[in-house]
Amino acid sequence: CYYTKVDKSLCIACGSCGALAPDIYDYDDEGLAYNALDNNSGQANIPTLFEDDLIDAREACPTEAITVQQTPFDLS
């Protein structure tokens, strides 16, 4: 299982994540990315079908704004 979040304070709106994983990441009005599956709460188990895209996007992000972990993120 994988879960993901974008740290918007690090995102520079480069657009790679939405290009590589369009079923996971979308952009807000400022072009900053977020996880569209769970409104960036990091609570949604990423469907297996999208796992390769998920890893590609995380590796492509130039600012390491994308975090992936195997448990749901702490709500804070």
Binding residues vs ligand F3S (CB under 6 A) = 6, 11-17, 33, 60-63, 65-66
Structure tokens at 12: 């520079």
Shortest spacing between CB 46 and ligand F3S, in angstroms: 15
Q: How far apart are CA 26 and CA 69, in angstroms?
A: 19
Shortest distance, position 4 Cβ to ligand F3S, whole Å? 10
Maximum Cα–Cα distance across the chain: 30
Output 27 or 72, the one with its CB closest to ligand F3S: 27
The residue among 33 and 54 lying less far from ligand F3S, judged by its C-beta, is 33
* Spatial distance between the Cα atoms of 76 and 61, rounded to a whole number of angstroms: 24
